Homo-oligomer: A and B are copies of this chain.
Amino acid sequence: MRDLNAKSPTKHFLAPFSDNTVQPPPVWLMRQAGRYLPEYRKTRADAGSFLDLCYAPKLAAEVTLQPIRRYGFDAAILFSDILVVPDALGQNVRFAEGEGPRLDPVKTVADLHRLDLSNTHYKFAKVCETVALLSKELPRETALIGFCGAPWTVATYMAEGRGSSDQAAARSWAYRDRQGFSELIGLLTEASIVYLSGQVDAGANALQIFDSWAGSLAEDEFERWVIAPTARIVAEIRRRHPQVPIIGFPRGAAALLQKYIDGTNVDGVSCDTSCPLSVMQAIAKTGKVVQGNLDPLLLVTGGEALDARADAICQAMAGLPFVFNLGHGIVPETPPENVARLVHRIRKTGN
């Protein structure tokens, strides 16, 4: 195993990446900073638009810190959005309240040529300023995770102009015009490298690449648009920053998960809720760090159903390189006390 983060032995989150036997497992939760927290809603209301918040270092750092103060998670994840990359490249991105993102769609190579990597400097710098603030303000024992959306998933929003259930615009473009779509993926790959590298330079201790729509592709397209660009990002970030672990989250990759791990060479993989515990165990036994995979809806339900499943996950992964997390992000309806209950449970039963 590589000597990851040798300089930060005090951060519990990083332990599984160089030592596979930490108990209790480190814990953080995807979308741990967000609308389920009253303090987030207050900061959000003061911030203007959602993207304004992402580009306001003090406010973005504040919302990143909120769940750390409440729950003492082992890692903070930079508060930002995967659509910062297309926005910084020059695509018009806005967030309509309660409606999700809207973008002026990129449908052709001509649209694509209006985007420019050299545009990104100012907006990426704002995000990196947030990272720098956080790396000063976070408790010494708390790791800071930077992130980006994977090129495929970001491309699905760019092509569709919004979220979609089947990613038809991007998938069709890829079939119709492989060369043009490959240019889009290539641009996003290079932008992601610049963006993640900047986050590490500013103080991120680990990185996660979110590929929320990896599950919609046939195997050959998955290799082309998910594995290949992610492998390029991982290789280049690792060359520049060999001490920083990189976690991939190919949501829905399912039967292609092992191929993703082998093909991208990520240090760890975040597993979605539908991933069987036996698959998570098998991956962890190969030495890769596995993260996951509690159903976020169990955090809404709470009670014994939550305890039972959290226990089952911890028991299955005991003694293996594992980070406790959800299978997807926290939903806004989550009662904050259920999150406290979960963290307490993991730390108690994991010991």
Contact = CB atoms under 8 A, between A and B. Distances in A.
A172 B252 contact: no
Copies per assembly = 2
A166 B300 CA distance: 14
A219 B276 contact: yes
Given A252-B252, A255-B274, 7 more contacts: A175-B301, A215-B215, A220-B312, A254-B254, A255-B275, A255-B276, A256-B274
A165 B168 contact: no
A264 B115 CA distance: 51
B256 A218 contact: no
Size band of the interface chain A makes with B: 35 or more
Interface string A49-71: 00000000000000000000000
A117 interface: no
B175 A215 contact: no
A233 interface: no
The 7 closest A-B pairs by CB, nearest first: A254-B254, A175-B301, A219-B276, A218-B273, A175-B305, A171-B297, A254-B255
A291 to B, nearest CB: 15
Contacts of A293: 218
A276 to B, nearest CB: 4
A309 B255 contact: no
A188 to B, nearest CB: 21
A317 to B, nearest CB: 14
Interface in A287-315: 293, 295, 297-298, 300-301, 305, 309, 312
Contacts of A255: 254-255, 257, 274-276, 279
A218 B296 CA distance: 11
A216 interface: yes
A258 to B, nearest CB: 10
A217 interface: yes
A133 interface: no
A331 interface: yes
